[in-house]
Amino acid sequence: DTGVSQNPRHKITKRGQNVTFRCDPISEHNRLYWYRQTLGQGPEFLTYFQNEAQLEKSRLLSDRFSAERPKGSFSTLEIQRTEQGDSAMYLCASSLRGGRVNEQFFGPGTRLTVL
């Protein structure tokens, strides 16, 4: 049983460039989440999908950010015109709807550095 995977693990880019991250959830999980974690802080919620539908977006998700989950499987998070303030760890998680706990299983994250 493979866990949540994320690619790339590290990304260094110059300010103003676009970047795209990919997340592959646990295969039977229908919910997928994106979080952002900056140094010394806990993860902050960005958005989540149930199957292919994006059901909630945080105010943190400015119009430069877009997330998709076209077939209800993997998801991509794109940041356009990156800024130095976008430097952070981007975490993806997945869960299975139903059950009492609905714990979210996290991937290893993509660390973004914007120069």
Partner 1 sequence: AQKITQTQPGMFVQEKEAVTLDCTYDTSDQSYGLFWYKQPSSGEMIFLIYQGSYDEQNATEGRYSLNFQKARKSANLVISASQLGDSAMYFCAMREINFGNEKLTFGTGTRLTIIP
CB 60 within 8 A of CB 41: no
**Nearest CB to partner 1, comparing residues 74 and 106:** 106
CB of 92 to partner 1, least distance (A): 10
Tell me which residues touch partner 1 (CB under 8 A): 31, 33, 35, 40-45, 48, 55-56, 58, 89, 91, 93, 95, 100-109, 111
**Nearest CB to partner 1, comparing residues 17 and 38:** 38
**Nearest CB to partner 1, comparing residues 67 and 93:** 93
CB of 16 to partner 1, least distance (A): 26
CB-count burial class (<10 Å; 0-12, 13-18, 19+) for 42: exposed
CB of 56 to partner 1, least distance (A): 7
Note every long-range contact of 67-74, with CB atoms under 8 Å and residues 24 or more positions apart, other chains counting. 67/34, 69/32, 72/30, 73/24, 73/25, 74/22, 74/23, 74/24, 74/25
